[in-house]
Amino acid sequence: MEDCIFCKIVNGDIPSEKVYEDNNVVAFKDINPAAPIHILVIPKKHIATLLEVKEEDSYLISEIFKAINTIAKKLNIDKDGFRVIANCGKNSGQEVMHIHFHVLAGKELGDKIVG
């Protein structure tokens, strides 16, 4: 999608610090980290919100969680643990309209959902 910031990251039109990439998924460091480790995991395909994941794209959600598993081991956060958050819509504060999963780690995140 032309004016989507995360599509531009997928295409390399704007820079990012990628930590993982495969045929379907890209993961990169959040520009404004909320924890010592804050990664965004996205499908390469533009899907605006979680409500717009169609049946034929549902495998992408599985691919994203497989990628998260790989990333957790690669970044050595598999033992101490991490939190995954996906915002959807106005009340969640979703800012970027291309679905993304936040992976937060690197400290005890406490019992607040957003860390």
87 is an interface residue for ligand AMP by CB under 6 A: yes
Q: Pick between residue 47 and residue 71 the one whose CB is nearest to Zn ion.
A: 47
Tell me the C-alpha distance between 69 and 57, whole Å: 20
Residue 5 near ligand AMP by CB under 6 A: yes
Catalytic annotation present for 98? no
* 30 is an interface residue for ligand AMP by CB under 6 A: yes
Helix, strand, coil content of the chain in percent (nearest 5): 30, 20, 50
Q: Which of 6, 28, 82, 101 binds Zn ion (CB under 5 A)?
A: 6
73-80: which pairs have CB atoms within 8 A and are 24 or more residues apart?
Answer: 74/19, 74/20, 75/19, 75/37, 75/39, 75/105, 77/37, 77/103, 77/105, 77/106, 80/105
Closer of 78 and 84 to ligand AMP (Cβ): 84
Scanning residues 79 to 108, which ones bind Zn ion (CB under 5 A)?
A: 98
Annotated catalytic sites, by residue? 100
List of residues contacting ligand AMP (CB under 6 A) = 5, 14, 16, 28, 30-32, 40, 87, 93-96
